[in-house]
Chain A
Amino acid sequence: MKRIGRSPWQSTILIFFLISFFVGFFLPGQARVVREMKQTYQSQDPKDLIRVIRDLQQRKQDLLVEETDVSQKVMQYLRSSDDTAAQVRQLQHEATVLRQRTGAVPLAGPGIRITIREQSSGASPSMLADEDLLLLLNDLWASGAEVISLNGIRLTDSSSVYRAGLNVRVDGRVTQMPLVVDAIGDTENMSKGLQIPGGVLDLLNLRRIGAIVQKVNLLRISD
């Protein structure tokens, strides 16, 4: 091997410095590129990428299954909550209606007042029969009456109303004619319901029993 002689000191130092500087200058850039490449999939081993893809696909499948389960649970919760709310509303409505029907709560509101006067004197007296009362009250309930009172006596679902001689007996309490029937509810519906041709008012009129229907803005019926 040929022996190489020593170069001048300054040029030696200079060339060492330049080459070292050159290598050092590129090292950070190269390190940065390698670091960035490690964060991407470009420089990954295809086998590793296949494994990663399979893992991701499995993960995706798991997530889809989980999403389906969660969606079903959410739908069940929503359905049950909707059902519960509807049931609660229905039960509250039923409770309100029942309280009204049983007379547990006093009510006030617009309604109609029917004043019934029979002609018990004269040559041909006209008497209000039990059937007339039953028809009148049923028509009122059917027309949307929420609460009814007879001469201030509140009726309930289990009330009994019948004639007792010249008087009327309501739930064991005796009241006298003329009979004032107050009904709270949809005024128009109740009025129309009573005035149906061939209805209770026609029947009372036919039997010469005076019945005056008045619309009242505010009626109060207590228990």
Chain B
Amino acid sequence: MVGSAIKVSFIAMGVIFLVLTILIGLIQILVKLIPYEAPPAPPAKPQAAAGPDEGETVAAIHAAVARHRGQTPESIQITHIQPR
């Protein structure tokens, strides 16, 4: 019984190596036939132009922040707006 188990083990390992070696060969053929091509670089995103109502929005936020802090709008200066 152990003898036949050893025989089965050798045959089975042989089959596994055979199947996986065939797959290695096929992968190599595929990789050679279809080489990797780097995708084209995406076009640069144009800088969003300031909309007509952007100034009004900033002014409204400015006033709201000042009111929330209990200060006058003049005492707060918005120095930078992070574009979305």
- A, B from the same assembly: no
Could you list which residues of chain A lie within 8 angstroms of chain B, going by C-beta atoms?
Answer: none
